Amino acid sequence: MVCPQCGKAMRPGFLQGGRTLVFNQKQYRVSIAPRKEGDVEIVWNLAADADFHGFICTDCGLVVFDYEHPMDRWL
Ligand SMILES: [Zn+2]
């Protein structure tokens, strides 16, 4: 995959993280829970961590991943 930001080659891999990850339109200081329409719960699963297949550009720092299709860590 070509990086949409800098045009260099991105490397495939897995974005592995914790049990909550949110994309909010505003930076909240206390709780990251989505509050407004348009805020997106990427991961909100207190029982297990989530993994995503994606691509990283180590030249500019951009990471691209499909948040609607998390992977099962125990396959
Ligand atoms: Zn890049």
pLDDT tens, position by position, 2-56? 999 999 999 999 999 889 899 999 998 888 888 889 999 999 888 888 899 999 9
* Residue 74 pLDDT: 64
Judge whether 61 lies within some domain: yes
Mean pLDDT confidence for 67-73: 84
Judge whether 21 lies within some domain: yes
List the domain range (segments joined by +) for residue 28: 11-65
Distance 65 CA to ligand 1 centre (A): 14
Judge whether 52 lies within some domain: yes
Judge whether 22 lies within some domain: yes
Judge whether 20 lies within some domain: yes
* Residue 46 pLDDT: 87
Could you tell me which of 4, 31, 10, 12 has the C-alpha nearest to residue 20?
31
Distance 63 CA to ligand 1 centre (A): 9
Judge whether 70 lies within some domain: no
* Residue 16 pLDDT: 92
Taking the C-alpha atoms of residue 69 and residue 34, their distance in angstroms, rounded to an integer, is 19
- When comparing pLDDT for 74 and 20, which is higher? 20
CA distances from 33 to 17, 18, 25 (A): 17, 14, 12
What is the Cβ-side half-sphere exposure of residue 16, based on CA atoms within 13 angstroms?
5
